[in-house]
A and B are shown apart, each in its own frame.
Chain A
Amino acid sequence: MSIASTESGQVSLSGLDELWFQVAGTRCNLTCTHCFISCSPHNDAFGFLSLEVVRKALIESVEWGVREYYFTGGEPFLNPDLVEMLVLALEYGPVTVLTNATVLKDEWLKCLRDAEERGPYSLEFRVSIDGPDAATNDPIRGEGTFDRAMRGVETLVRHGVLPIITMTRTWADAEDHRILSRFRDVLARHGCDRPRLKVLPRLLIGAEAVRTCGYDETDHVSVGMLDGFDSDQLICSHSRTVTDQGVFVCPILLEEPSARLGGTLAEADRPFSLDQGACVTCYQFGAICTNPSGQVFEQTGDGAGEVHT
């Protein structure tokens, strides 16, 4: 094989459309077996973001013309300043928070919905539940988590939230349709009668690499693969992720040191080599982290999945 065909392709930042905040670091109340950044109650690899860091980034983001803000973790609601951060971010643009919905409180929801109604922008809740029943979900997300998440969904619905439910596919592709329609029935029984459902591909990194198998050492997106490919399909071409340890190329590769591009947004405005196995999954599935309403579609391509917390 020639050097040219194995060299990794590079993607530069075409514009900063989405700004991600790794607001809970790698801290989560759950320890899902497929978590691509191995979050748990004890993983301190990345810490909470402070309100000040978020505020500064929001101010800085204006000159970048950021379209929307994503808050993720870990479990974002473990960060005691999260509600205040979301309220603040809603003054700048639309906000999406990715949660496992097991720790939601009525008072937070009330405050957040009020903030949303005061301004022009949407506040989206993206809830990760990995199947339409405890038997599918709990082996991955933990004993009792299905019921807890469904109670979280009920709380959201009570406050007029229309959640986006994301599930990581741990079944055969052909099962999608059956599982989605079962999920619709189950959610309706919990009062959520118009959910937006998204099935996500698994990323074979973090805990998931231990659970099943990881990518091959040699998996990457080569220069040749990018030939004629619309790089806008990859979130690294239009987003960056703020963590307590600097700005990363995307919310996926936090465990990869080379994915830290700098200390500020300006420093992080440089190309990234797609030399990671996870890049191959993005390449296959498109902008897997973005909401359906915000996706930039390739003019002749089809839709894509999403990534979850």
Chain B
Amino acid sequence: MKLAFFGGLYSNYLALEAALADASRRDVQQLFCLGDMGAFGPHPDRVVSLLRDAGVTCVQGNYDDSIGNELADCQCGYTDPSDNRFAQISYDYTLEKTSPVHRRWLRALPTSLDLEHSGVRMHLCHGSPRQTNEFLWESTTSDAFLDRVLDPTGADVVLGTHTGLHWTRTTPRGRRFVNVGVLGRPANDGRTNVWYTVLDLTGHEVEVEFVPVDYDFHRLSGEMRSEGLPDEFVTTIESGWWTTCLEVLPSRERRCGRY
């Protein structure tokens, strides 16, 4: 049985459309999204409509909590003043352009979900099982710590997103963590594609496949420009390199990027 996991849509409805099409070609039986529907991109209502129409089961991200509850900011916890300025421009835009119906929908999303398929217990969250906006970077998450935060879930596989970079590890105690990546922006590798994850479950075996998704990024960047979103964000979409919010990246992840 195949399950698809999306994360960090950041209003990139074109990538979500492409990922939905890809998942259906792969005979995926069920679709999930781990939150952060808005931010960064244009026309935030479009991803929410797509998610609802496609019957995607969703978990709430920090951004969705903020938009849903009309908070003052996105709770990403950036530390650099210029990062915060860009984040605030796109947050204000996203809040204004998200319809009241969609805000209510975002507000009502669960912060985590537990499910079982083919004898595999899964825990779905946004950042980490213990906190929605906790960054679990591959290079700053020790094995011992991963076991400590995964243990209380009792799950075989824990899935999250939030950082923007996909990775997976099996802990010493045998639990699996999967950061499913994000559809909203490229993975800071100089490529324009984005990522989602397919879990293949057969008789207690879990296979994790990270799936690259190509989409019409020229169209997205054009719309971002005409909506007046920050040039820095547009550059990321067109170049595949992160240009902002780099202060929170650990050195190992940062070294992989250009900026």
What are 20 sample pairs from A and B whose C-beta atoms fall under 8 A apart?
A64-B148, A65-B142, A66-B142, A67-B145, A68-B145, A92-B144, A93-B143, A93-B145, A94-B142, A94-B250, A122-B252, A123-B251, A124-B251, A194-B246, A194-B254, A196-B246, A198-B79, A293-B249, A295-B79, A299-B75
* B134 pairs with A122, CB closer than 8 A: no
Chain B, 136-150, CB within 8 A of any chain A CB: 137-145, 147-149
Complex contacts, A62 vs chain B, CB 8 Å: 144
Q: Out of A64, A293, A303, name the residue touching B250 (CB < 8 Å).
A: A293
| Chain A residues within 8 Å of B, Cβ to Cβ | 15, 17, 61-68, 92-94, 116, 120-124, 160-162, 177, 194, 196, 198, 291-297, 299-304
- For B139, give its contact among A92, A122, A196, A297 (CB under 8 Å): A122
Cβ of B132 within 8 Å of any chain A Cβ, yes or no, is yes
Q: Decide if B140 touches A121 in the complex (CB within 8 Å).
A: yes
Total contacts A to B, CB within 8 angstroms? 103
Neighbouring A residues of B139 by C-beta, 8 Å: 94, 120-122
Assuming the A-B contacts A120-B138, A293-B250, are A64 and B78 also in contact, with contact meaning beta carbons closer than 8 angstroms in the complex? no
A162 to B259, CA, bound (A): 11
Contacts A122-B252, A194-B254 given; indicate if A92 touches B247 (C-beta within 8 A).
no
B188: Cβ under 8 A from any A Cβ: no
How far does the Cβ of B140 sit from chain A's closest Cβ, in whole Å? 4
Q: How far is the CA of A168 from the CA of B11 in the complex (A)?
A: 39
Residues of A contacting B84 in the complex (Cβ-Cβ under 8 angstroms) = 303
Residues of A within 8 A of B254 (CB): 162, 194
* Complex CA distance for A120 and B84, rounded to whole angstroms: 30
Provide the bound-state CA to CA distance between A68 and B84, in Å: 26
Shortest beta-carbon distance, A86 to chain B, in Å? Answer: 14
On chain B, the number of residues with a Cβ less than 8 Å from chain A's Cβ atoms is 40
Of residues B73, B75, B142, B247, which shows the largest number of chain A Cβ atoms within 10 Å of its Cβ? B142
* A-B CB proximity, top 10 nearest: A65-B148, A93-B142, A297-B77, A67-B145, A122-B139, A303-B79, A122-B250, A122-B252, A94-B140, A293-B250
Pick from A64, A198, A300, A301: contact of B144, CB below 8 A: A64
**B-chain residues with CB within 8 Å of residue A122 when the two chains form the complex:** 137, 139-140, 250-253
A301 CA / B62 CA spacing, docked (Å): 12
Complex Cα distance, B253 from A291, in Å, reads: 14
Contacts of A93 in B (CB 8 A): 141-145
Contact of A293 with B133 at beta-carbon distance under 8 Å, contacts A177-B81, A198-B79 already known = no
Q: B247 and A196: CB pair below 8 A?
A: yes
Return the chain B residue nearest A193 by Cβ: B259
